[in-house]
Amino acid sequence: MRTSHVQTLPIVLSRQSRVSLPQQVGEELKRLILEGYFKPGAIMPSSRTLCETLQVGRSTIIEAFEQLKFLIAAG
């Protein structure tokens, strides 16, 4: 059985922020990757799992994944 970090995912989102939710999620996921929370080769949580955990729409997570690709490519 695989263990999941999702229940304890240390992501805090602010709905009052001027930064969009997808951008916040993407930046937080990038931070967790860079800090070693997700190990190289680890499977990221699914979009449906993340939207349930973070209480955001699935389209927010899908957009965050797209931004995450860009953030990682940009360094």
Q: What's the pLDDT band for 7 if we cut at 50, 70, 90? A: low
Within 10 angstroms of residue 64's Cβ, the number of other Cβ atoms is 27
What is the chain's mean pLDDT, rounded? 86
Q: For residue 6, is pLDDT > 80?
A: no
CATH of the domain at 58: 1.10.10.10
- 69 in any annotated domain: yes
Q: Tell whether 27 is covered by a domain.
A: yes
Residue 11: inside a domain, yes or no?
no
pLDDT at 2 exceeding the cut of 70: no
> What domain range is 65 assigned to?
21-74
Q: How far is CA 65 from the centre of its chain?
A: 7
Please report whether residue 54 resides in a domain: yes
| Position 26, amino acid | G
Residue 50's pLDDT is what?
A: 95
In a domain, 7, yes or no: no
Number of domains in the chain: 1
